[in-house]
Structure 1
Amino acid sequence: MQETELKLELSQAAATALLKKNPFDAAPTVMQQKSIYFDTAGADLSKRGLSLRIRQSGNERVQTVKVGDGVAAGSFTRDEWERPVADDIPVLDDPQIRDLLGETDRRLAPMFEIHVKRHRWNVIEGEATIEVALDVGKVVAADREALLCEIELERRAGSPAALFALARKVDRIAPAHVGVLSKAERGYRLLGAAAGAVKASAIPLSTDMNAATVFAHIAAACLRQFRLNELALSWSRNADALHQARVSLRRLRSLFSICRSLFADSRFDHLRGELRWLASDLGNARNIDVMIDRATNDDLSSRLQQARDGAYGAVEASLSSARARALMIDLAEWISIRDWRSDQNGEALRLQPARDFAAGVLDRLWKKVAKGGRNLADLDDEARHELRIIAKKLRYAAEFFGPLYQSKKEIKRSKRFLVALEGLQDHLGSLNDLATAPAMLSQLDLSDVAGAEDLFSAADKEKLLKAAEEAHGSFVDIRRFWR
């Protein structure tokens, strides 16, 4: 069968507040649960997007096998198979399950356990029926433990939009963030090294997809990347996590921009505006991190570090705000429900084969970068900044749509193209850092501190301009992988 659910993460204080308020019009059913997750020593199931667990509630044990798409953000639609079992040993006599697991079934062993106190309600939200489960407990893997506090909203009947309406009701009572980690993923993360910054990875796409489906897959992956880095930031003021959180927002904004022709939906512009607000709030802290890396004077470094503390405090305030939480819920709903597909405006474009749509986008951006970089050294700072933005969109588009071009020849061309484009983008980024440093230092009241001028020297600019011109020439000469 298929399940559709929305997962939200809560603090323990928020969970306590939710239980006290209890907005679900009924007393919950309360039970203790223990779940044992199985895999091979090499985590073969996890690598294939599968999970196998046996969950005990009271005297009953249920075995569940799940397969998911691995890129959803908050809202998951996936296949699952359940059956009762007598003990904590997996039963794999179903031919479909055996085919799914393959040879791994002979090497399965317990990997980690999850212990929770579950509060469960059956809720009527409009015409929909939703099962609500609040889990508070811990994940146990070898000698490690991690707290777990989350709420799952699973649609039993009716419109999936009801999940998000109920999520907003929960968030008004107890601050809740869109969850992107399954319980299985939490266990695997606990087994590995401490989680830090998460970079974007290739997104599974297929050539039989249309433009709208590709957009939804990429958008969900961007949202997931943001939330994973936001989680890392909640544990420490990690500069790499902040950078990757900002990158994920920029990627999502770029995706909205290059796919603008697909939509005639008022929510599109609202969401894009909110993404711009959040990315801007993260930008100040990132700019200070960049200047700290380049500072050579101890006094300037110390003053920048003090400014960094204030900037990260502002980031934390933004990320924990009701506005940011609402944005993530709105995005997850808009991406996962995809009711914009029913709009007749732009339908032909949305149904266009993904490779055709991608080629059009990539051609348009390539021409802008090729033309805009002519006589690059003679451009003013603002024009070079505009070129940098277009180059960044082209790079993101090439990364987004790259999985649609998977022949050996296309893969080789794609790698060479991205190397050349990244070289150009890096030089343009460094030039932009030089151009924006004076205003940033003035804003921080650090313009007169010793070493400040070293952050935007004319000699550095001259070298970077020459390198950028050479990089642009190399980029123009590289063959386009989509043609």
Structure 2
Amino acid sequence: MAPAGSRGRTAGPLPRPARPPSRGDLSLTRFDATDAAAEPPAEPAPPADAAAQLSLEFALDPEAVQRLPRHPAITSARAGRARSLAEELIWMDSAEGVLAADGLALEVPRRGPRRLIRSMPPAEAPWCPGTPPALEEMEPTDENWVPIAAFSGRRSVMALGEVTAELLAGKLRAVAAEAPVARLLLTGPTEAVLARAAALAADIHMLPPAASLAEEGRALARGGPPRPRRRGPPPLSGAATVEAALLAALGHLLEVMLVHAPACRLGAGMEGVHQTRVALRRLRSVLKVFRPVASGPELVEFDDGLRAMAAALGPARDWDVFLAGTAAEAAAAIGGDRRLAALLRAGEARRQEAYAALRRLLDGPAFPRLVLAGIGLIQRRPWREGPPESLAPLEEPLPDFAAGVLDKRWHRLRKRGEDIAEHGAAALHEVRLDAKRLRYAAELFAPLWPGKPARRFLRRLSALQEELGLANDVAVARELAASLGTGVPGWAIGAVEGFASARASRARRHALESWDELLEAEPFWR
């Protein structure tokens, strides 16, 4: 599927409805029971049973749309012929974009009433990838609206046993651009929907969309990318219990990973790999933080999938940092030397190999399977399958649990950093890892204690991790340079290693200063 911001041939003017809709003539209700998954509750309900209804939305590319009707997961379960109708949707807003600013869009379908939809979830609300847009109630008003973008295509509905599959395929159109788009919505009992999605994703590349169709249409009209629904660490200030925080963190970080994964390709810059890797590391940190109250085979399997993806992201990121950092700075400092140019060319070839391997993983079945496993954790909550007494910690107030986690990690870091001035490279590396573990947990829980102490502690902890990270990058740079082998002049490898050693000395000195400053900061959770 072409990115929503891509430019195509001129699409012509948008169709207009027969009369300008106004807020005063809208008849709107919220989703009924069949759409209960559209807006996750602020606090977790008991685990869904087999009959609970779930709706999951997936984005497909044009090739997948052609294969879908013949897929065994469709043909083996289809009851009767698919119903297919022409469909047209128009998304409207004020000329100033007041609805988009609130994460809303006025959707005018070909048939049925106009409706206000939530195209962007509220910032603090829990979120699960694949959640369809929710309907919103609307206060009457006489304000008129203008069309922003439209969809034209077909809507096909298939009955697949307990699951209903609804395929929307066609084109998004704005005034001067258009892009192909396809969405598959699966609705039915939770386990049946998850099983059907897994069967389809085994050989059809389908992922929860990173933006609603309305948001993609808005982005197409503006000539830019859709706004990310989630970014950075998960905001947990609204989570009252331990389980609410776990669910919110999983959904948030899965969404962040989905947003950045498409940019993990050559020519898209380094940020996609970096941010995808950070989201993945935060996900693994969340699993470790909540392991005392939420464990089991499904969480272990999910973590194994994250570890496999990290193994593909690591080399791409390492070569990015090496080529843009130590190697580039060495080449700039020494000047235009052919031997260093040969090293850079060899490093770029290795970087391309690493990106190709990463792209194969992301475009294959492993990545959709990983995302579906994460969604399955949110929907099934397998950690609730233990005896009743094991569930009490899930309902513990989050600040009490968070303070215990942070205390433990802070104590471990302080112990690891004793006599830090005497540490060698290996010992400093262990301090860096413990600092990173504490930072991820502190970022996760800092919103529970807003204020200057939390900001100061995080700032000093980040500075320590940054300096220790520079020292570690230098060690990685030495390994990468040495791995290029006999095809690169030894003088160039030695020059890069020497340059890296000089940087390591500076990083070590700054890390010791950052350690002293961190020890002076009071733990904000106390």
TM-score by length of 1: 0.85
Say whether residues 1:72 and 2:102 are aligned partners: no
The answer to whether the 8 A contact 1:196-1:232 is kept is: no
Per-residue deviation at 1:193? 5.7
**Alignment partner of 2:214 out of 184, 193, 212:** 184
- In the other structure, the counterpart of 1:360 is 404
- Check 1:208–1:253 CA distance in 2 against 1; reply closer, same or farther (3 A cut): closer
- The whole-number CA distance in structure 1 between the counterparts of 2:460 and 2:144 is 44
- In the other structure, the counterpart of 1:109 is 146
Over the residues paired in the alignment, what is the CA RMSD in angstroms? Answer: 2.6
**Alignment partner of 1:266 out of 288, 297, 303:** 297
- In the other structure, the counterpart of 1:87 is none
SS of residue paired to 2:58: strand
Per-residue deviation at 1:192? 4.5
- The whole-number CA distance in structure 1 between the counterparts of 2:227 and 2:465 is 21
The answer to whether the 8 A contact 1:69-1:78 is kept is: no
- The whole-number CA distance in structure 1 between the counterparts of 2:96 and 2:234 is 23
- In the other structure, the counterpart of 1:392 is 436
The answer to whether the 8 A contact 1:9-1:178 is kept is: yes
Q: Which has the higher strand share?
A: 1
- The whole-number CA distance in structure 1 between the counterparts of 2:212 and 2:294 is 31
The one-letter amino acid paired with 2:368 is R
The one-letter amino acid paired with 1:283 is G
The 5 Å alignment of 1:27-66 reads: 27-56=81-110, 60-66=111-117
Count of aligned positions:
451
The 5 Å alignment of 1:96-175 reads: 96-98=137-139, 106=143, 108-125=145-162, 130-155=163-188, 159-175=189-205
**Alignment partner of 1:322 out of 346, 365, 377:** 365
Per-residue deviation at 1:300? 1.9
Per-residue deviation at 1:342? 4.4
The one-letter amino acid paired with 2:454 is S
Per-residue deviation at 1:78? 6.7
The one-letter amino acid paired with 2:291 is R
The answer to whether the 8 A contact 1:264-1:346 is kept is: no
The one-letter amino acid paired with 2:154 is K
SS of residue paired to 1:260: coil
Say whether residues 1:340 and 2:398 are aligned partners: no
Per-residue deviation at 1:246? 1.0
**Alignment partner of 2:271 out of 232, 240, 243:** 240
- In the other structure, the counterpart of 1:462 is 505
Per-residue deviation at 1:352? 0.9
- The whole-number CA distance in structure 2 between the counterparts of 1:237 and 1:173 is 26
- The whole-number CA distance in structure 1 between the counterparts of 2:294 and 2:344 is 46
**Alignment partner of 1:9 out of 50, 59, 62:** 59
Relative CO higher for 1 or 2, CA cutoff 8 Å, sep ≥ 6? Answer: 2
The answer to whether the 8 A contact 1:29-1:119 is kept is: yes
Deviations 1:207-239 (A, max 9, x none): 552011111111111111111111233695431
- Check 1:234–1:413 CA distance in 2 against 1; reply closer, same or farther (3 A cut): same
The one-letter amino acid paired with 1:411 is G
- The whole-number CA distance in structure 1 between the counterparts of 2:479 and 2:266 is 31
- In the other structure, the counterpart of 1:250 is 281
- The whole-number CA distance in structure 2 between the counterparts of 1:329 and 1:466 is 45
- In the other structure, the counterpart of 1:482 is 525
- Check 1:339–1:46 CA distance in 2 against 1; reply closer, same or farther (3 A cut): farther
- In the other structure, the counterpart of 1:433 is 473
- Check 1:479–1:111 CA distance in 2 against 1; reply closer, same or farther (3 A cut): farther
Per-residue deviation at 1:32? 1.7
TM-score by length of 2: 0.79
- The whole-number CA distance in structure 2 between the counterparts of 1:234 and 1:224 is 19
**Alignment partner of 2:349 out of 280, 299, 306:** 306
The one-letter amino acid paired with 1:118 is R
- The whole-number CA distance in structure 2 between the counterparts of 1:375 and 1:219 is 37
- The whole-number CA distance in structure 2 between the counterparts of 1:122 and 1:299 is 60
Identity of aligned residues (%): 26
Deviations 1:15-56 (A, max 9, x none): 111123442423211112111112344544344343331111
The answer to whether the 8 A contact 1:6-1:75 is kept is: yes
SS of residue paired to 1:451: helix
- Check 1:47–1:339 CA distance in 2 against 1; reply closer, same or farther (3 A cut): farther
SS of residue paired to 2:139: helix
The one-letter amino acid paired with 1:441 is A
- Check 1:36–1:77 CA distance in 2 against 1; reply closer, same or farther (3 A cut): closer
- The whole-number CA distance in structure 2 between the counterparts of 1:343 and 1:109 is 54
Long gaps (5+) in structure 2: 1-30, 38-54, 332-339
- The whole-number CA distance in structure 2 between the counterparts of 1:326 and 1:465 is 41
The range that moved more, 461-470 or 415-424, is 415-424
